[in-house]
């Protein structure tokens, strides 16, 4: 009988003031590569933000490394937010310096983060969700493409496409949630930690934040309060929450309108829109989200490579760069392939769709 190796996906962060983050990056990078882990770790003046996969031995070694470090002892919630996976969920190990460990456009000191904390435990959040108390407003601080895939019952989207846009919406939140107590949440809690400071500074103080975010809640409770799948920033992208009794699909295929929870990117490079689509329908449309993207791709050949498409577009574009005389030959080859694949295929979207939210609770 073949022995299987179990893996864990660890998602964690810690806000801590680091004097020389570049030096910490070097230490982490060398150690993580030496023990064979995979994932992404960002270290900056604000602290550390990490998503990694590791087997049991790698986990033990890495956690010992953290506990013996100057800055990264006592990482909060590292156990309860851990998820069992069947293999590595990242293609390689990346450890980089980032001035902001989560990009909001401003760097905060650990003291500022601590001062603005108003955390709500998962137990108290569950009590509020189950009671349906009207005095609370549940604000999803993730981006629209994350909200579409799944969210808490009765949650309201932040209406952002990028996290940095939040400052543009503060006045809207003040008006929209007047007279309510706001509870915000994000995937693992890190965005809300920084947002608590920003909202305080922009005249919206006292906003609660779900401690540990969605990950901590769904790892603690399988109660149906979460609808749909969870968008994750690893190879899974779309991760099922709940079981056959509690899981509910709320998203629909971009091409067919049928219930679906698979996430893809539009293969036209300048678009790269994230769409929910059945794999078969996605391949049928060659991965283009709209008629407009297919037409532009036909002209400028800016198409992302995928395993199931036999054409290597990047390599062919490289031939043109090396020898302009190859342009006509390469263009004819690619255009002939596109015509054959898309013959008779109709797109139900003429242009890429704006990231508009239709709330389903």
Structure tokens at 312: 């290597």
Mean pLDDT in residue range 326-355: 94
Distance CA 277, CA 93 (A): 29
Q: b/e map of 201-222 (b: 16 or more CB within 10 Å)?
A: eeebeebbbbbbbbbbbbbbbe
Residues paired with residue 41 on neighbouring β-strands, in sequence order: 50, 95
Matching CATH number, 7-97, of 3.30.70.100, 3.40.30.10, 3.40.50.720, 2.40.50.140: 3.30.70.100
Mean pLDDT in residue range 319-340: 97
Question: Shortest CA distance to 8 belongs to which of 95, 81, 65, 91?
Answer: 81
- What are the tens digits of pLDDT across the range 21-80? 999 999 999 999 999 999 999 999 999 999 999 999 999 999 999 999 999 999 999 999
The pLDDT value recorded for residue 2 is 47
DSSP three-state, residue 184? strand
- β-strand pairing of 150-152 with 7-15: unpaired
Structure tokens at 93: 């190990």
CA dihedral 170, 171, 175, 179 (to 10 degrees): 50
- What are the tens digits of pLDDT across the range 251-284? 999 999 999 999 999 999 999 999 999 999 999 9
pLDDT band at 1 (very low <50, low <70, confident <90, very high): very low
Distance CA 355, CA 361 (A): 18
* 7-97 matches 110-240 in fold: no
Mean pLDDT in residue range 335-340: 98
Look up the pTM and report it.
Answer: 0.89
Domain assignments of the chain as residue spans, ordered by start: 7-97, 110-240, 263-342
Superfamily of domain 110-240: Rhodanese-like domain (3.40.250.10)
- What are the tens digits of pLDDT across the range 113-149? 999 999 999 999 999 999 988 999 999 999 899 999 9
Sequence-separated (6 or more) residues with CB below 8 Å from residue 245: 224
Distance CA 150, CA 129 (A): 16
Active site residues: 186
Structure tokens at 251: 């998203």
pLDDT cut 70: percent of the chain above it? 97
């Amino acid at each position: 009988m073949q022995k299987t190796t179990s893996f864990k996906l660890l998602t964690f962060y810690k806000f801590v003031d680091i004097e020389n983050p570049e030096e910490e990056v070097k230490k982490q990078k060398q150690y993580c590569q030496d023990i064979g882990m995979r994932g992404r770790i960002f270290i900056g003046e604000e602290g550390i933000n990490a998503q990694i996969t590791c087997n049991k031995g790698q986990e033990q070694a890495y956690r010992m490394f953290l506990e013996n470090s100057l800055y990264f002892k006592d990482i909060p919630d590292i156990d309860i937010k851990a998820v069992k996976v069947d293999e590595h969920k990242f293609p390689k190990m990346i450890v980089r310096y980032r001035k902001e460990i989560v990009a909001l456009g401003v760097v905060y000191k650990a003291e500022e983060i601590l001062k603005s904390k108003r955390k709500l435990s998962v137990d108290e959040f569950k009590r509020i969700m189950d009671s349906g108390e009207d005095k609370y407003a549940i604000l999803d601080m993730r981006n629209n493409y994350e909200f579409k895939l799944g969210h808490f019952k009765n949650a309201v989207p932040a209406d952002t496409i990028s996290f940095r846009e939040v400052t543009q919406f503060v006045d809207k939140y003040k008006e929209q949630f007047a007279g309510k107590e706001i509870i915000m949440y994000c995937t693992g809690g890190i965005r809300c930690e920084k947002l608590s400071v920003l909202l305080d500074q922009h005249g919206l103080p006292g906003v609660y934040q779900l401690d540990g975010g969605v990950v901590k809640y769904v790892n603690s409770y399988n109660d149906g309060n979460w609808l749909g799948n969870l968008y994750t920033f690893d190879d899974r992208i779309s991760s099922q929450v709940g079981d056959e009794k509690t899981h509910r699909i709320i998203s629909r295929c971009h091409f067919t309108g049928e219930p679906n929870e698979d996430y893809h990117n539009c293969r036209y490079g300048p678009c790269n829109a994230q769409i929910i689509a059945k794999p078969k329908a996605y391949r049928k449309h060659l991965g283009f989200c709209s008629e407009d993207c297919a037409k532009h791709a036909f002209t400028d050949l800016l198409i992302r490579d995928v395993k199931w498409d036999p054409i290597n577009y990047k390599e062919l574009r490289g031939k043109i760069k090396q020898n302009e005389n190859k342009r006509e030959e390469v263009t004819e080859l690619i255009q002939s392939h596109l015509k054959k694949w898309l013959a008779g295929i109709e797109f139900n979207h003429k242009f890429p769709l704006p990231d508009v939210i239709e709330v389903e609770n």
